[in-house]
Amino acid sequence: MPTHMRNRFTPAELADIELAEPFDFTKGVRPLRLPARAQMSPYAFGTLLFDLAEDPGQQHPLDDADVELRMLRLLARLMHENDAPASQFERLGIPFDGEPGPEHLLVREQAGLAAMAAAPLPPLDAFPSGDFDLSTPLPELLAHPRARHVLDTHLPQLTQSELVSMLGDTSIYQLAATVTVPEPVLRGVARELATI
């Protein structure tokens, strides 16, 4: 039975399931393929490149096209060696049938995303507040139908994943400090929650 880390897949999640072609390591057995569901989007951080030997804390991103291209080509080679499907190459923007080139580099192109993700959150009192706000514990928000609707609308990757069950009494503001939630999204959530 397919399972997440903490629970089984729901019937709705399995509704569009299909059998995929086998990988070398599945010994001819066809694995299940189902629509993906990201818990949080890494796209919000932009593409970053670090020298872990010189910068183990990942405090100083590199912007070096030659190094990025070398790493991208190594990634593509390792993906081929490990039988990654073409869909994974497509997801990452890497050509399946050719070698990545300068047109596939993303560090410089996504520098704005990386800067926004690294920017500190405005203080909590800079956001609208009311009976429900960014400091309200998640279980309280999820138990209230209108507050739940706000979260489902703005943060579906949170509410539609098992991640939410692991967060305890964490608030949206606390979560946003550790997992990038773009400030405009956070402001929209705060504005709508304050009207409940």
DSSP 116-151: HHHSPPPPGGGS--SSS-TTSBHHHHHHSHHHHHHH
- Which of the residue ranges 41-55, 58-72, 118-132 would you say has the lowest mean pLDDT? 41-55
pLDDT band of 178, cuts 50, 70, 90 = confident
DSSP 167: -
Q: Is the pLDDT of residue 81 over 80?
A: yes
- In the DSSP assignment, the letter for residue 96 is S
**At 143, is the pLDDT very low, low, confident or very high (cuts 50, 70, 90)?**
very high
Residue 55's pLDDT is 95
Residues 72, 93, single domain; the answer is yes
Q: Do 104 and 128 belong to one domain? A: no
Q: Range with the lowest mean pLDDT among 52-56, 82-86, 159-163?
A: 159-163
Q: Verify that 136 and 112 share a domain, yes or no.
A: no
Which pLDDT score, from 0 to 100, does residue 39 have? 58
The CA-atom distances, in angstroms, between 183 and each of 1, 45, 70, 127, 154 are: 39, 13, 33, 10, 12
Total domain count, the chain: 3
Looking at per-residue pLDDT, the higher value among 177 and 101 belongs to 101
pLDDT at residue 115 in the model: 84
Beta-carbon neighbour count of residue 36 at 10 Å?
7
Asked whether the predicted pLDDT for residue 77 surpasses 90, the reply is yes
By residue range, what is the domain housing residue 92?
Answer: 41-117
Please tell me the predicted confidence (pLDDT) of residue 6: 73
Over 90: is that where the pLDDT of 57 sits? Answer: yes
Q: Are residues 48 and 29 in the same domain?
A: no
Query: Nearest 5°: phi and psi at 8?
Result: -75, 160
**Stated pTM of the model:** 0.69
Asked if 85 and 20 count as a contact pair (C-beta separation under 8 A), the reply is yes
Structure tokens that stand for 153 in this block: 């609308």
Radius of gyration over alpha carbons of the chain, in Å?
A: 20
Strand partners, 133: none
CA 157 – CA 17 distance, rounded (Å): 20
* Judgement on whether residues 74 and 29 belong to the same structural domain of the protein: no
pLDDT value of residue 117: 78
Query: What is the pLDDT, as a whole number, of residue 38?
Result: 61
| Mean pLDDT of the 137-164 span | 86
Residues 145 and 103 placed together within one structural domain of the fold = no
Contact of 113 with 54, CB cutoff 8 Å: no
Q: Is the pLDDT of residue 129 over 70?
A: yes
| Percent of the chain clearing pLDDT 70 (strictly above) | 94
Cα–Cα distance for residue pair 137/167, rounded to 1 Å: 9
Contacts of 101 (CB under 8 A, 6+ apart): 69
Mean pLDDT over each residue of the chain, to the nearest integer: 88
Among 82, 97, 117, identify where a domain stops.
117
* Ramachandran quadrant class, 19 (left: phi over 0; alpha: psi -120 to 50; beta: rest): beta
More confident residue, 119 or 191: 191
Q: Residue 1 has what pLDDT?
A: 74
| 104 in the same domain as 137 | no
